[in-house]
Structure 1
Amino acid sequence: MSTIHKGALVVGQIVETGRNGRAVITRVHDRSNKDSVIELVGEGAIVRLGNAAFDLVYFSGERSRFVSECIIRGGLPWIVHTEVVTEAVLENLKKSADDKERQDAEAKAREDAAFALEKSRLQEAPEYKHLKKVADNKGKCEAATVSSNIRAELKKAFPGVKFSVKKLSFDCVQISWTDGPIKTEVEAISDKYEDGHFNSMEDIYEYNTSPFNVVYGGVKYVTTRRDYSDELLEKGIVQARKQFGKDLVPEDCNAEMYRSGALSKLSREYFMYGFETELRRIIAQIKA
Structure 2
Amino acid sequence: MAESLQDAIHHGSWSSFLRLRSDLFPVIADAKGNEARALAVLRWFISMLKDQYTSRNESMGSEQIPLNSALGELFYGYWPDQNNRGRTTLLVEQVSHHPPITAYVIENKSKGLKLVGHNAQKISFSSGSIIVRQIEHATLSIGDTKYLITLLGGSTPKEQVVEGLWHERSKFTKGPHASSSTGDFHDVVSKSKEIITAVGGEKDGSQGEYETRRLWNLVAKAAEERKSQLKHFKKYELDPIYEKLGKLARLTPPEEDYYEFLANWPESLRVRENGFNWICWLHT
Higher helix content, 1 or 2: 1
Which TM-score band applies after superposition, normalised by the shorter structure? Answer: under 0.3
TM-score w.r.t. the length of structure 2 is: 0.19
The structure whose RCO (Cα within 8 Å, separation 6+) is larger is: 2
Larger Rg: 1
Higher strand content, 1 or 2: 2
